[in-house]
Amino acid sequence: MIVAFSLFGTLSITSTTIANNGSNPPSSISPAKITASVPRGFEDSLVASIPSPTDLTFTPDGRIVVTSQPGHIYVIPKNHNSQTLPPIALNLSKIVCNNIETGLIGITVDPDFGNNGYIYVYYTYQTSPEECPYVAPTYNRVSRFTLQSSNVVDPQSEFILIDLLPTPRGSHNGGGLRFGADGKLYVSVGDGSTWAGYAQSLAMLNGKILRINTDGSIPSDNPFVGLEYAQPCGKIDTTQLVEERVCQEIWAKGLRNPFRFTFGQDDAQNEVMYINDVGWRTWEEVNIGKAGADYGWPFREGPCETDTFGDDCHPLSDDTLRNPIYAYQHNATEFCTSITGGAVVPHGIWPESFNGTYLYGDFACGALFQLKTSGGTHVKSVVATEMSPIISMMFGPYENTQALYYTTYGPYNALFGSINGGAGVRRMVYLGDRNAPPTAHAVAEVNYSAHAPATIKFNALRSRDPNGTPLRYEWDFGDESAIITATNAIVEHQYLKEGVFTATLTVYDTLNTPSKPTTLKVYIGNTPPKITLTQPTTNATFRVGQPIVLQADATDDDDGNLPDSSLMWEAFLHHIDIIDTNFAHEHPLLAPTKGRTATFTAPKQEDIFAGHSRLEIRLTATDSQGLSTVHTQILQPSRSQVTFNSEPPGLKIVANSAELKTPITLEMWEGYTINVKAPQTQKGATSKLSFMRWDNGNDREHSIVVAGETMTMTATYACGKGDCDIFLPAMFSKMTIEMLEHSTK
């Protein structure tokens, strides 16, 4: 039963326009310039710039194979250090959905790659042209392709192993792919952002770890193969839950969004699977993979019953559930709220304290952490901070040892804003006793001037020496002036003539070890383009599922009207929790899209408490010389006040699986669907109470769609038969007194 109700919408749109102050237009293919704060003796550097990278893997000969969200696969040659974008090896962008959290998400290489050339990918595909989540049913798929020695993948070589993995809302896709030592392919699948029991049901593949053979068939020792009604589910749409079906691909269940997992070895050289499960409102967790395990979602998050934490944590005493080895609570100190990639440190390549320990990254706070066992528990320590958002990580070859390679989404960090960190593959290597070279980082506070002469201020404060020594700064301003050396990180330079100049910074440590040079463009006699945004208008709001049309024009003083190819759109969802607005992070909604116009579908709010969330639209316009303007606009949803009440007050109701104590009022987005449930019975102040009715006449369990007006829903409870006996003596006494008083009158 669907009930629509309307709310008063609110609007708050703010816009800013800024000129690019880096060496390239602020698109996702800009070289990463962020300087991570790594331990002494380590070096962190850019390997290659890649737009919106999601995962990486290695071929036996040392090539790095990288996926990007829009549907591209790139192959980085061994010992590649040019920091440039490699050619596209496979282009699936015409069939891949890449809005919200969908896209080309995961990749791995066959253990026998040297003989067969097989790579395996996990991607979201369009069920019909131009239709992605919120428009049509959308699904994820696991396919096998053949990578040739020429670094080209033939799209006709696709062999589908698992198909029709539903992602009805476009998020919580999972997407991890790795081979175990047993030669089997393991696949992590998210719950599809649903609360419909997907993660617990053996009748569907969502919210699970799957295990298959390289041809998609089922290993005979999978834990649920021998159960009644067991069958392969890899080629059927399991959206409709049926009791008489058990999916044989399932290896473990009860996971929310196991976005990344990895294998490593413990001290006894036994294989261990680490599963990073992205949490809901309160917990992020690391689990150990085990055949047949149940990790408890949606009943449990981290070590606690769902939506409880701290002193209010309610551990579930169900012996059938497997506890995480480590879970961390969302807090306003670290801002770490989204666990991503993980890797086990091989023995002997980093300092001894790292041997065999587990590393994991957090997207929201841009940090890398280490887990170590201490007294039977796992203890976290910080390895690196100030990193561009980590997506995936893996150890791979470097010179005669190994290094940690990781993909960063960049260039935007939800906590720190624009931090000059670009998207790409980065590498963290331990240099041992060798002196680690410093890293140069430079920006211009304003990198253009309409006329010459012009004074430009340069800032190198984010340059860093891993060994902690003072730096010396060498500047070549690119205009044939003398190279200058400074001990101050901030300098000014006057350009006397017009042109496009490449300024170069090299920094030196106290041992005179140079960094790799970093460059940035300076435009004298030029001004950035001017953007006119026509849609959405400044008084627009949106509702869930609404097509949002983006439209703009851009002009330049020198170029006139800029062509469509000079405009690039992006859109993001800023998730802000109503309980604590510090717990904010972002989700990409629209991958970089060129043109004067673009369209995407407005998402739903992520959960019942996320009504304060909003969208951000970013448009970058770049002129013929490379100078760009970034225009950002915050777009608010039409929101409403929804109140849940009970009679008597203080009882509990369930909305989208969140238990709410009445009365409570929440802001929600217009068009958001709420699944409401009143428990059949619950404990009142002095007796057991039974559900009687909702004031709107709906069933005890029903759905509502927020549509425009403030609304209050009240669930009425009363004593069931035999449950109110506790009141009878008092009632009898009162009645007796009243009767006696009446008889004496």
Whether the predicted pLDDT of 222 surpasses 90: yes
Q: Are 86 and 48 within 8 A, CB to CB?
A: yes
- Whole-number average pLDDT of the chain: 85
**pLDDT value at 29 more than 50:** no
Q: What is residue 422's predicted lDDT score, i.e. its pLDDT?
A: 67
The whole-number pLDDT of residue 136 equals: 64
CA atoms within 13 A on the CB side of 81: 8
H or E segment to which residue 742 belongs: helix 728-743
User: Distance between CA 376 and CA 374 in Å, rounded?
Assistant: 5
pLDDT of residue 309: 66
pLDDT at residue number 610: 86
Q: What pLDDT is attached to residue 185?
A: 98
Mean pLDDT on 590-609 = 88
Higher pLDDT, 740 or 394: 394
Average pLDDT for 186-199: 88
Average pLDDT over residues 270-287: 92
- Distance (Å, whole) CA 745 – CA 742: 5
Confidence of residue 587 (pLDDT cuts 50, 70, 90): confident
Average pLDDT over residues 518-536: 95
CB 371 within 8 Å of CB 360 = yes
User: Do you find a cis peptide bond into 298, omega within 30 degrees of 0?
Assistant: yes
572 or 311, higher pLDDT = 572
Q: What are 153's strand-pairing partners?
A: 147
Minimal CA–CA distance to 257: which of 357, 363, 154? 363
Angstrom distance (rounded) from CA 150 to CA 117: 11
Asked whether the predicted pLDDT for residue 130 surpasses 70, the reply is no
Q: Does the pLDDT value for residue 121 go beyond 70?
A: yes
pLDDT at 583 over 70: no
Average pLDDT over residues 437-451: 92
Please give the average per-residue pLDDT across 82-104, as a whole number.
87
- Between CA 237 and CA 247 the distance in angstroms is 12
The reported pLDDT for the residue numbered 726 is 39
Going by pLDDT thresholds of 50, 70 and 90, the confidence category of residue 118 is very high
pTM exceeding the 0.85 threshold for the entire prediction: no
Q: How confident is the model at residue 258 (pLDDT cuts 50, 70, 90)?
A: very high
Q: For residue 153, give the DSSP letter.
A: B
Burial profile 500-515: b = 16 or more Cβ within 10 angstroms, e = fewer:
ebebbbbbbbeeebeb
Mean pLDDT of 518-524: 94
Tens of pLDDT, residues 141-162: 999 999 999 999 999 999 999 9
Assess contact for 674 and 642: CB atoms under 8 A.
yes
How far apart CA 487 and CA 461 sit, in angstroms, is: 11
More confident: 315 or 284:
284
pLDDT surpassing 80 at residue 61? yes
Q: Is the confidence at residue 315, as pLDDT, over 90? A: no
CATH 3.90.1170.50 fits 443-524, yes or no: no
Provide mean pLDDT across the span 223-240.
92
pLDDT at residue 725 is higher than 50:
no
For 485-544, give the DSSP string.
Answer: EESSSEEEEEE-S-EEEEEEEEEE-TT-PBPPPEEEEEEES----EEEEEES-TT--B-T
pLDDT, greater one: 734 or 131: 131
List, in sequence order, every residue forming a beta bridge with 162; answer none if it has no partner.
142
As a CATH number, domain 538-635 is 2.60.40
726 vs 236, higher pLDDT? 236
For 71-76, what is the mean pLDDT? 95
Residue 6 has pLDDT above 50, yes or no: no
pLDDT confidence bin for 24, thresholds 50/70/90: very low
Helix (H, G, I), strand (E, B) or coil at 565: helix
Nearest to 339 by CA among 355, 326, 354, 350: 326
Q: What is the pLDDT of residue 389?
A: 82
Distance of CA 36 to the CA centre of its chain: 20
CA-to-CA separations, 392 to 140, 473, 737, in angstroms, rounded: 19, 33, 76
- The whole-number pLDDT of residue 721 equals 55
Q: Quickly state the pLDDT bin for 33 (edges 50, 70, 90).
A: very low
Question: Coil, strand, or helix at residue 684?
Answer: coil
For the beta sheet containing 711-719, the strands, ordered from the edge strand earlier in sequence to the opposite edge, are 664-669, 639-647, 711-719, 688-694, 681-683
- What average pLDDT score do residues 326-347 get? 86
pLDDT for 473: 98
Give residue 350's pLDDT band: very low, low, confident or very high (50, 70, 90): very high
The CA-CA-CA angle for residues 99, 105, 106, to 5°, reads 175
Percent of the chain with pLDDT over 70: 86
User: In sequence order, what DSSP letters do the residues of 599-631 get, joined into one string?
Assistant: EEEPPPPSSTT-TT-EEEEEEEEE-TTS-EEEE
Exposure string of 582-612, with b = 16+ CB inside 10 Å and e = fewer, is ebbbbbbbbbbbeebebebbbbbbbbbbbbb
CA atoms within 13 A on the CB side of 65: 30
Looking at residue 738, the DSSP 8-state letter turns out to be H
Q: Which of 362-376, 411-425, 524-538 has the lowest mean pLDDT?
A: 411-425
pLDDT of residue 30: 27
Asked if pLDDT for residue 581 goes beyond 60, the answer is no
Return the amino acid letter for 667: E
Q: Give the pLDDT of residue 577.
A: 67
Residue 81 has a pLDDT of 66
pLDDT band at 184 (very low <50, low <70, confident <90, very high): very high
DSSP letters spanning 415-481: TTEE-S--SEEEEEEE-TTSPPPPB---EESS-EESSSSEEEEEE-TT-B-TT----EEEEE-SSSP
What pLDDT was estimated at residue 578? 63
pLDDT at 9 over 80: no
What is the model's pLDDT at position 242?
Answer: 77
Q: Name residue 673's beta-bridge partners.
A: 705
Tell me the CATH class for 639-726: mainly beta
Over residues 62-87, the mean pLDDT reads: 87
Categorize the per-residue pLDDT at 362 as very low, low, confident or very high, splitting at 50, 70 and 90: very high
Task: Give the whole-angstrom CA distance, residue 303 versus residue 318.
Answer: 12
pLDDT of residue 728: 35
Residue 317 has what pLDDT? 67
Q: What is the full DSSP assignment across 627-650?
A: -EEEEEEEEPBPEEEEEEEEESTT
The alpha carbons of the chain give a radius of gyration, in whole angstroms, of 29
Residue 421 has pLDDT above 80, yes or no: no
- pLDDT at residue 657 greater than cutoff 60: yes
Q: Fold for domain 21-430? A: Neuraminidase (2.120.10)
Do the beta carbons of residue 550 and residue 532 sit within 8 Å? no
Domains 538-635 and 639-726 share a fold: yes
Which pLDDT belongs to residue 380?
Answer: 93
CB-based contacts of 333: which residues, under 8 Å, 6+ apart? none
Domain ranges of the chain: 21-430, 443-524, 538-635, 639-726
Please give the Cα distance from 259 to 189 (Å, whole number): 8
Distances, alpha carbon 244 to alpha carbons 204, 227, 230, 454, in Å: 11, 11, 8, 76
- How far apart are the C-alpha atoms of 163 and 89, rounded to whole Å? 23
Mean pLDDT value of segment 550-575? 94
d(CA 274, CA 329): 19
